[in-house]
Amino acid sequence: MKDLYFEKNYGRLYEVIENGRCEVFEFDHPLGRVRHQFIRREIPITATGGPYFDIVTPYGYGGPVIKICAEGRKTQLVKEFEQAFGEYCAEHGIISEFVRFHPVLGNALDFEECYEVRYLRETVGTNLAAYEDPVQREFSKSTRKNIRKALEAGVIYEIIENPKSLGEFKDIYHETMSRNNADAYYYFEEDYFTECLKYFADRILLTKAICDGQVIGMGLNFTYEDRIHTHLSGTLSDYNHAYPAYVLQYALTVWGKANGYRLIHDGGGRTNDPDDSLLMFKRQFGKNTRFDFYIGKKIWNKPVYKKLCELNAADAATDYFPAYRCKKHLEASRV
């Protein structure tokens, strides 16, 4: 399966945010082929033999993907990949790796013998292909009621394919992030949106909710093959009574169904809590469509990993990974 998250240009979007460089490891073997995309980041700790690096999946989902595999040889192919990639990491000073596997693709289960794979939470989608009327079958009863109320009150929606500018969306998105006191990681700056247009203008789909001539909500979505990925969204708090977030999702579902898409993937919540408020909101649009989201951890160089933790007074056994990047320790090490 091809997907947006495995595009090299998608990884490049997050080089500045992650303070690293997007790289791809292509593993070709008589048993098959594995492609692995990641961002390589320099570890901000001075240590003998450095500089050292760690790698992480670009924002969203990814991980290694089996492109071709000889029948019945998947386990052996993954073992050969692990050996080859371990040598690559040793050569390039890569100490550890954190992977966010793709919940729709399900590649986590292919690499359980290579990484410490752990289920984190579910993600939600709207299945457009399985139902003639996905709004009726996938949306909750209360959600459909909210949408009817909004439309009857005069809220309208607009779909913009291949937009020329993301300025209007950026303003609403930033207002929403400020209102929610969002972490700086999610507060994408001007250059990010410029790069989005540079690399993916033909895959961007904007949704708008409009009330009395005022844009009260917008969504930035990506189309790829037969899927739509919701990416970022924002609403004006003064218009929450007009249900802009519900109208945006309704617009995307109606448009996606009419244009032959099979799935809208909305992702999951902000936390691992099964009652996470964002996850609960997304479930209203996908009563029947859920995916399992797994993460993967790997220490490629255990002696150096341990040394970095010691230098930063970090407990190597902590749940935070990689432990040497725990913020409180990094801040203390700079004093």
Name the packing angle between helices 190-200 and 167-179 (round to 10°): 140
Kindly state the tokens that stand for 256: 């996606």
Residue 149 placed within a domain: yes
Backbone angles phi, psi at 101, to 5 degrees: -70, 160
Q: How many domains would you assign to the chain?
A: 2
pTM here?
0.92
Query: Domain range for residue 78?
Result: 4-114+301-334
Same domain, 310 and 268: no
- At residue 237, what is the residue type? S
Cα-to-chain-centroid distance, residue 10:
11
Residue 258 placed within a domain: yes
Determine contact, residues 209/218, Cβ cutoff 8 Å. yes
User: How would you classify the pairing of strands 32-42 and 53-56?
Assistant: antiparallel
What's 100's DSSP letter?
E
Q: Is 279 left (phi over 0), alpha (psi -120 to 50) or beta?
A: alpha
Q: Residue 277: which residues within 8 A CB-CB, separation 6 or more?
A: 269, 270
Same domain, 168 and 317: no
Cα–Cα dist 315/329, whole Å? 10
| pLDDT at residue number 327 | 66
Cα–Cα dist 172/176, whole Å? 6
Same domain, 285 and 323: no
Same domain, 234 and 286: yes
Reported as a single tens digit per residue, the pLDDT across 36-92 is 999 999 999 999 998 999 999 999 999 999 999 999 999 999 999 999 999 999 999
Q: Which residues of the chain have pLDDT under 50?
A: 329-335
